[in-house]
Structure 1
Amino acid sequence: MESGRSFARRDRLLEIEAKVRNWWDQKDVFRAESCAKKPEPGEKFFGNFPYPYMNGYLHLGHAFSLSKLEFAAAYHRLRGANVLLPFAFHCTGMPIKASADKLAREIERFGDPPAFESFVEEVKEVEVEEANGGPTEPEKFKSKKSKAASKSGGDKYQWEIMRSYGLSDSEISKFKDPYHWLTFFPPLAKEDLKAFGLGCDWRRSFITTDMNPFYDSFVRWQVRKLKDMGKIVKDMRYTVFSPLDGQPCADHDRASGEGVQPQEYTLIKMEVVTPFPPKLSVLEGRNVFLAAATLRPETMYGQTNAWVLPDGKYGAYEISESDVFIVTERAALNLAYQNLSRIPEKPTCLVQLTGNDLIGLPLRSPLAINHEIYALPMLTILTDKGTGIVTSVPSDSPDDYMALHDLKQKPALRAKYGVKDDWVLPFEVVPIINIPEFGDKSAEKVCLDLKIKSQNEKEKLAEAKRLTYLKGFTEGIMVAGGEKYAGMRVQDAKPLIKNQLLEAGHGVLYSEPEKKVMSRSGDECVVALTDQWYITYGEQEWREMAEKCLKEMNLYHEETRHGFEHTLGWLNQWACSRSFGLGTRIPWDEQFLVESLSDSTLYMAYYTIAHMLQNGNMYGSDTSLLKPEQMTDEVWNFVFCEGPYPKASDIDSSVLNKMKQEFTYWYPFDLRVSGKDLIQNHLTFCIYNHTALLNQHHWPRGFRCNGHIMLNSEKMSKSTGNFRTLRQAIEEFSADATRFSLADAGDGMDDANFVFETANAAILRLTKEISWMEEVLAAESSLRKGPASTYADEVFENEINIAVSEAEKQYKGFMFREALKVGFYDLQAARDEYRLSCGVGGMNRDLVLRFMDVQTRLITPICPHYAEYVWKELLKKDGFVINAGWPTAGLEDHTLKKANKYLQDLIVNMRKLLQKQVLGSKKGNKKGAPTTPVNEEKRITALIYANEQYGGWKEECLRILQNKFNPETKTFAPDQEILGELQRSAVGQAEKDFKQLQKKCMPFLRFKKGEAVSLGAQALDLNLPFGEIEVLQKNLELIKNQLGLEHVEVLSVSDDDAYNRAGPHADLLRNNPPSPGDPTPIFFSS
């Protein structure tokens, strides 16, 4: 908070906010009503936000994304649009159910409230007993195992998590019922959002799941319609799957690994040649294979060996009654969920092995030109990818080439792992693919080119792979494969060879997650082959419709558009059913629930009629005009899809028509704001579902995506304590200071930064501004009456006009940080400068009141409570500022702005020069503060010499630059061409030593070129766009007062007597002649 221990300023803002919210509530100011007439463009604004998941309190991450929508909606409201901003709460899915079940297990095991401490003591006793070799009771052993898991996983007990929310033990116990979460957190979230000042029509709020019968009916209609259109099908598909939950694990069900998809491999069956070594003797009579996962089945012709990790842990797993695969346990678990285990979903390990047990195994591998190869040690195998068994193709894999090279060249390495010479030395590189740049032994060539010495040079090997792998696929030509494939492009041969291996039974398909995925239940996910319901995203015709919609949408950032285009490129069938959690049952297969990313794609349409269905109750449980069972598919189709009038419905026709009117008035929605992480799922699903279910004129108009929020430049994290709920932030800083800091945090796709210091500074700024307005209005009679007439008045009025125009531009472009800068920071700076410029004459009353009015309106979207308070309590205006309209502004005078900048910069430079030349101090006062001479007896006067037009060599330089500048590209001709032109000019011809002229001109040429690139061609004009001497003459009193001078005069160097006035300082004037925009001041003291 603020320095010291006083929170008075913050508390004053909190009091103001409570008072303002009461005003808003009394008049229901955010209630949004449709009209019978279809709105013209700009007359209405419907914005929405992905409803947050209700397993805890809202935090600043939610608030950051939401603030973008809130600021936009408030801006459109000020512009006079009819604004609808609704908000709902997502409860579908497994996290709430999983947490409730976890809590129930803890209560069952440890009591209510749980006695975790006694459990820890129990574990210690078990550990001592086991250390002494004593017996272990099954129950205690189980407890110890759980404790170990808890320690290693860093997981908290669910009870402790609930305690961290500030809940009492008696309250926590209720959360073992998952539906208690739905009645507890959504109302609290609503409280926090109201405290935040969200301009929401709360009548339209709802929760998801079958707890809300109206929304449940809506989702059932949606999925039924998709199924009837052939867009929901049942199929066997590879899906990321949670063994613990027993169901697919979609993005919202994951603790980590969001966006990770199944990676498909071809599993090569490398048969172990009998007789088996003693370690494998138990497998006699079975077909035993080392199973290697590869992404390049076309390279199998070039196998020289297989690789294993010497100290890696493997097992011989039963695939069927006859076949056994030797792989890692992790791979075996994935295989078991893909119908590649004798007992489905339960891998059976017949023998536990290490890599050392496998070294030297003779193998027959499909397609290999070498009839028999051997398993050899490789030290760089990663067992968290693939199966831990790796095929070796040294012709095309730099890793394989160097590992084989090491074994061949290092007898000691062979001896270390018991590798016999005849397992290695006879095997040479087998050419299989010709790459134009690298030949038919690409790995060998690139390793020699890069001077790679060993398999341990990871960075060089990564570079070698980068050089060869993509080219091998895109440009490679098969030289192996006989008549069938030799001469064929690799990219054409690859699928054919893969199918040949699969059809011959020499390989099987195998999938695993691209990267590690952890479910919210705490287990590592696998890829399972599941028979379930899928939405056919990616289907060609449907995808083309989605791309058509995307093309017409406003996405605000090109990076956002690229994200959607990429997602549409890879997204295909999406598992939409779950067997565990909360939600809506699939109507035709009620053993399944609709998963959480599939019941949240069209609900923006539901907002338009939610208030009519639910009568303002978020659970849909109050009496309303309608009953859930009346909302038949025919009714939903009539309201949303322009379907025929539902004649069989017993809903009154006026109600039916009113619902349809609500939808057609508000739709399509104008904006959806979201974090960028939802591009790859939810937002793309939203596009797909809208294009399938609604007519084209109801497709979405815009998505605005942002990055994540950091707190004080560090990642927001509960575990580190760098975390704030929305409630905590409001209590700590107030709502408006929180909103102020959110606006200042950033607007792009990169991660933004919420800075506590900014929020604290906002408290100070807002309260000081209120105090200043109170003081000025209390002494209003002392302000200067009459029209704005002085130069300072003109400048200030112009700054207000510019602020109105620039703020509008930034709000419209969703650049809220810039809107805050121009509409608040810059405008306040202009006001402060105006106060100083007015001097003893004082500020103009009408201008000051206009400033207060304009600043209040411009800050309204960001700090609405503050603005409303100022509007009503200080300015005594009628109505509410949120509906007051955008401020009007006169024409912007940018020439006047440049003139004022010139004046202010001159005063700063003169102050520095005065301190240095006359007062003997290198340290000037702050800008805007009058200077008091060090020696009070000194009376200082100043002559300001001005030159309003360039002359001599500078004039010639500018004329040449004007001719050599392209204003469209903002580029100049080469320097040599410019200097050649200068040398040929009259100025150049008059100079005996052109090098001296060049030395003098080059700094000026560089400076003016830089100005032209940033400001445009006007920077090359021979004079300023304003009368320099006139500006100085009008502001002599200001300059005199600001610098503490006795007298000031402005002289033109074109005046012959001007140099004579310089007296002993004439040389200074000659050495530093003035030029347009750069006058020369000379000080005299007496």
Structure 2
Amino acid sequence: MASDSKSFARRDRLLEIEVAVRKLWEDEQVFRAESRENLPKEGEKFFSTFPFPYMNGYLHIGHAFSLSKVDFASAYHRLRGANVLLPFGFHCTGMPIKASADKLSREIQQFGNPPVFTAEDNTKVVAEVEEESSDTPALPGQFKGKKSKVAAKSGGQVYQWEIMRSFGLTDSEIAEFQDPYKWLYYFPPLAVEDLKAYGLGCDWRRSFVTTDVNPFFDAFVRWQMRKLKSMGKIVKDRRYTVFSPLDGQPCADHDRATGEGVQPQEYTLIKMEVVKPFPLKLGPLEGKNVYLAAATLRPETMYGQTNAWVLPDGKYGAYEISETDVFILTERAALNLAYQNFSKIPQKPSCLVELTGHDLIGLPLRSPLSVTDIIYALPMMTILTNKGTGIVTSVPSDAPDDYMALKDLNDKPDFQKKFGVKQEWLPSEIIPIINIPEFGDRAAEKVCLDLKIKSQNDKEKLVEAKRLTYLKGFTEGTMLIGEFVGRKVQEIKPIIKTKLIESGEAIIYSEPEKPVMSRSGDECVVALTDQWYITYGETEWRNMAEECLSKMNLYSEETRHGFEHTLSWLNQWACSRSFGLGTRIPWDEQFLVESLSDSSLYMAYYTVAHFFHGGEDMYKGSKSLIQPQQMNDEVWEYLFCDGPYPKSSDIPSAEKILFRII
């Protein structure tokens, strides 16, 4: 025992020093930052902030790793004599906490309180946790729950109760977390303890939590939203948005378990009419207009359609779009359409007949713009049913995939026989539609020959073939057919799309670029929603942002490129939601302010937070010299926007504090 004790003496001594130094820092208020009036002279200032972490669990090693950069930089400037402000707040706005609380409630309803999971359930949980965490180092001590935390972001595949147990909570304690506000009061104080143990050089008087449990921050966000609206920067609009059907609201980045940064992808959905008489399987659809619905990104190529493709073993359905129209496509695509107002029952796909790809092979079709009057549905083995509609138009002169699939059918009689393909269904010729420099008017055939592609299963080579031809075809290709002969593809692409939609031969269809899972555990769709948006892409704002970026001293060109990329696509950003925690939109209180929109200016709040919260209370400001209702827009304007001095006679204490702040 003696030898064991001696071996830890140096470590124990270091720990003693650490405790003593932390106490010294606190007693001497080393990290408190005051405004310049309270300093002997004005000198260099350094203000550093860290993206405030979300409070649906403990802080973890990733936070410490990133925070170390801010902490070290602050210490460096402090040693140089600068007046350094390093604050730290806690984010609770949005749906992750509410979603987790609701998961606990559902698990109690399903499995009891405390829940009793079957052996099979527990085996599944362990396997998924390990799989999700295979590349994540385990954390020591109380942070051993990191694996479960990672798995928790995988779309609800792990029970929330198990995640909470991994935090070291008892079953009776876990049950209390069905109330989402329990999370707000439980985890932030523990985070403060951990950060103090870490040794963060922070002015803790300025810490705060978001949502309406903090009436001062709530008032700050309300002012922010009212100001943006008065400037014309917030508008109400209908647009395509990634949406969680389970939560019944848009699913922003912070609300996603997977798919951060994924945006809606817009397609032109081509209505390929099924020619009557219908086969027996489609008998229940008599009297309806029935279409195979094919999603395309290249409507200008529809002149060259020779057939349609279906996945033989794919699952399809005939879905009611309206009283008269029926679309044949996958269930996934039908769900997206239902949330875009293309369903007889809004937001609920109505399937009249369940089908497979085998049922569709050989269907005669009339397709918009095709120079061939009747084309047929044929089998293609490489169709993905988790993208698009599962129905694909075939343009073999321009699309390498189509060219090789058609070549396989023509060259392999056994393949035709297997799927009952008749010779008369096969197109007799390839139809040139676009001339591309270096590739000619049969670009797909040339690039497949150049790359020695053998079949439709040469996926990597086909990806390369499309890379070589598609962009060049768009930027340099000229039309050889139709009313726009001789014109550049990039000029007439939007024109053809508009004509197809206006004629009723196509509709706009949108879906997520990649799969998105909400933190509630369901796969998201794209919905056409009516909500409030911040117009970040407005010309004046974007020009100001670009000018600011040009003056910024960045340490990496990669960082600058990241900013430039974001400015290039950021346009309207949904700032309202109907589910979760946060601040109500002042003029439309059925909505909450979206979690990223309430955190765009929180760094400014740090500069005054210590006056509102009395240096102790992160929540309701019980020690404050001023009341939340006194913080009207006039006061916020004076604090942050050089507004006129507040004249209201009912805020004498505010005047006193404002003098001290400014």
TM-score by length of structure 2 reads 0.92
Aligned partner of 2:173 in structure 1 is 171
Alignment partners' CA distance in 2, 1:64 and 1:578 = 32
Residue in structure 2 matched with residue 544 of structure 1 by the alignment: 543
Q: Could you tell me which residue of structure 1 aligns to residue 78 of structure 2?
A: 77
Instruction: Tell me the alpha carbon deviations over residues 843-876 of structure 1, each in whole angstroms, 9 at most, x when there is no partner.
Output: xxxxxxxxxxxxxxxxxxxxxxxxxxxxxxxxxx
> Which structure 2 residues correspond to residues 686-697 of structure 1 after superposition, within 5 A?
none
On the 8 A contact 2:215/2:620 being kept in 1, the answer is yes
What residue number does 2:140 align with? none
Cα separation, 2, equivalents of 1:232 and 1:601: 14
CA contact (8 A) 1:609 1:659 kept: no
Once the two structures are superposed, residues 486-514 of structure 1 have per-residue CA deviations (whole angstroms, 9 ceiling, x without a partner) of: 11100000000000000000000001000
Report the Cα distance in structure 1 between the residues aligned to 2:511 and 2:9, rounded to whole angstroms. Answer: 58
**In structure 2, what is the Cα distance between the partners aligned to 1:34 and 1:421?**
85
**In 2, Cα distance between the equivalents of 1:10 and 1:343?**
68
Partners of 1:372 and 1:41 in 2: how far apart? 82
Would the alpha carbon gap of residues 15 and 477 (structure 1) be closer, same or farther in structure 2, given more than 3 Å must change? same
Query: Aligned pair in 2 of structure 1 residues 559, 42: CA closer, same or farther (>3 Å)?
Result: farther
Name the structure 1 match of 2:639: 639
Q: Show the counterpart of 1:17.
A: 18
Q: Which has the higher contact order (CA 8 A, sep 6+)?
A: 2
Letter in 1 for 2:342: L
Q: Are positions 1:630 and 2:630 aligned together? A: yes
Q: Which residue of 2 aligns with 1:534?
A: 533
Structure 1 match to 2:499: 500
* C-alpha contact (below 8 Å) 2:52/2:91 kept by paired residues: yes
Q: Indicate the residue corresponding to 2:479 in structure 1.
A: 478
Q: Tell me how far 1:4 sits from its aligned partner.
A: 8.6
Distance in structure 1 (CA, Å) of the matches to 2:110 and 2:40: 60
- Measure how far apart 1:117 and its partner are: 5.1
Distance 2:288 2:87 in 1: 64
Report percent identity of matched pairs.
76
User: Following superposition of structure 1 onto structure 2, how do residues 162-311 of structure 1 map, counting pairs within 5 Å?
Assistant: 162-311=164-313
Q: Which runs of 5+ in 1 are unaligned?
A: 122-149, 664-1086
SS of 1:289 mapped into structure 2: strand
- Name the SS for the 1:293 alignment partner: strand
> Which whole-Å CA distance do the structure 1 matches of 2:236 and 2:339 have between them?
18
Q: Deviations over 1:292-327 (max 9, x none)?
A: 000000000000000000111100011111100000
Residues 586-634 of structure 1: CA deviation (Å, up to 9, x unaligned) = 1111111111101000011111011111112110331311000000011
Could you tell me how far 1:119 is from its partner in structure 2?
Answer: 11
SS of 2:193 mapped into structure 1? helix
Aligned to 1:621: 621
- Residues 393 and 400 in structure 1, CA contact (< 8 A), matched pair in contact too: yes
Change (3 A) 1:4 1:417: farther
Opposite residue 261 of structure 1, the aligned amino acid is Q
Query: 1:883 maps to what in 2?
Result: none
Taking a change above 3 Å as real, the CA distance of residues 39 and 20 of structure 1, as seen in their structure-2 partners, is closer
CA distance in 1 between counterparts of 2:155 and 2:536 reads 36
> 1:648 and 1:153 mapped to 2: Cα distance?
51
> Contact between 2:268 and 2:507, CA under 8 Å: does it hold in 1?
yes
Q: 1:40 to 1:19 in 2, by over 3 A?
A: closer
Question: Compared with structure 1, are the counterparts of its residues 631 and 304 closer, same or farther at alpha carbon in structure 2 (3 Å cutoff)?
Answer: same
Match of 1:434 in 2: 435
How far the C-alpha of 1:99 sits from its partner, in A, is: 1.0
Change (3 A) 1:120 1:90: closer
C-alpha distance in 1 between matches for 2:530 and 2:171: 42
2:376 pairs with 374, 377, 383, which one? 374
Offset, 1:552: 1.5
2:48 is paired with a residue whose SS is strand
Residue deviations 1:51-90 (CA, integer Å, cap 9, x gap): 1000111001111111111000000000000111011000
Matched, 1:608 2:607: yes
Classify 1:118/1:486 alpha carbon distance in 2 versus 1 (closer, same or farther; 3 Å). Answer: closer
Q: Which amino acid aligns with 1:583?
A: G
Aligned partner letter, 2:369: L
Match of 1:397 among 399, 410, 432: 399
Q: Give the superposition deviation at 1:24.
A: 1.3
Q: Structure 2 CA distance, aligned partners of 1:11 and 1:455?
A: 67
Superposition map of 1:399-478 within 5 A: 399-424=401-426, 426-478=427-479
Change in Cα spacing, 1:29 to 1:508, as seen in structure 2 (3 Å) is same
Distance in 2 between the 1:376 and 1:636 partners? 66
Is contact 2:215–2:628 with CA below 8 Å preserved after alignment?
Answer: yes
- For the 8 Å contact 2:638–2:645, the answer to whether it is kept is yes
Deviations 1:137-185 (A, max 9, x none): xxxxxxxxxxxxx9x9882322221111011222212111111111110
Distance in 2 separating the partners of 1:35 and 1:42: 9
Task: State the match for 2:592 in structure 1.
Answer: 593
Structure 1 66/42 Cα, relative in aligned 2: closer, same or farther at 3 Å?
Answer: farther
Distance 1:223 1:279 in 2: 56
Pairwise mapping of residues 909-924 of structure 1 onto structure 2 (< 5 A)? none
SS of 2:599 mapped into structure 1:
coil
Letter aligned with residue 51 of structure 1 = F
1:337 corresponds, among 332, 336, 339, to 339
State how far apart, in whole Å, the 2-side matches of 1:237 and 1:7 are: 63
CA gap 1:555/1:601 in 2 versus in 1, 3 angstroms: same
More helix by share: 1
Residue equivalent to 1:984: none
Give the aligned partner of residue 317 of structure 2.
315
Q: Which amino acid aligns with 2:158?
A: K
**Distance across 1 between alignment mates of 2:505 and 2:377:** 18
CA distance, structure 2, for counterparts of residue 388 and residue 262 of structure 1: 18
RMSD of aligned residue pairs (Cα, Å): 2.1
Q: 1:360-399 CA distances to partner (integer Å, 9 max, x unpaired)?
A: 0000000001111000001111111100000000110011
**Kept in 2: contact 1:639–1:656 (CA 8 A):** no
1:164-217 Cα deviation digits (max 9, x unpaired): 101122221211111111111000000111111111111111000000000000
1:47 aligns with 2:34: no
Name the residue aligned to 2:127.
Answer: none
> Distance between the aligned counterparts of 1:37 and 1:489, measured in 2?
67
- Matched residue SS, 2:598: coil
Distance 1:242 1:175 in 2: 23
The 1:31/1:360 distance shift into structure 2, 3 A limit, reads same
CA–CA separation in structure 2 for the residues paired with 1:459 and 1:63 = 41
Deviation at 1:454, TM superposition (A): 1.5
Once the two structures are superposed, what CA deviation does each residue of 1:906-959 show, in whole Å capped at 9, x if it has no partner? xxxxxxxxxxxxxxxxxxxxxxxxxxxxxxxxxxxxxxxxxxxxxxxxxxxxxx
1:657: how far off? 6.7
TM-score, normalising length from structure 1?
0.56
Is this contact kept in 1: 2:155–2:522, CA < 8 A?
no
Please name the residue that 1:509 is paired with.
Answer: 508
Q: Is the 8 A contact 2:36 2:42 kept in 1?
A: no
Contact 1:474 1:491 in 2 (8 A): yes
Matched, 1:27 2:34: no
| Partner in structure 2 of residue 522 of structure 1 | 521
In structure 2, relative to structure 1, the CA distance for the partners of 1:579 and 1:47 (3 Å cut) is same
Query: What aligned pairs does 1:696-775 form with structure 2 within 5 A after superposition?
Result: none
Q: Output aligned runs, 1:868-947, within 5 Å.
A: none
Separation in 2, partners of 1:624, 1:660? 15
Partner of residue 967, structure 1: none
CA distance in structure 2 between the aligned counterparts of 1:504 and 1:283, rounded to whole angstroms:
24
SS in 2 for 1:36: helix
The code of the aligned residue for 1:449 comes to D
The residue number in structure 1 matching 2:133 is: none
Mark the CA change 1:511 to 1:120 in structure 2 (over 3 Å): closer, same or farther. Answer: closer
Question: 1:328 touches 1:383 (CA, 8 Å); kept in 2?
Answer: yes
Partners of 1:293 and 1:389 within 8 A in 2: yes
| In structure 1, C-alpha distance between the alignment counterparts of 2:513 and 2:102, rounded to whole Å | 30
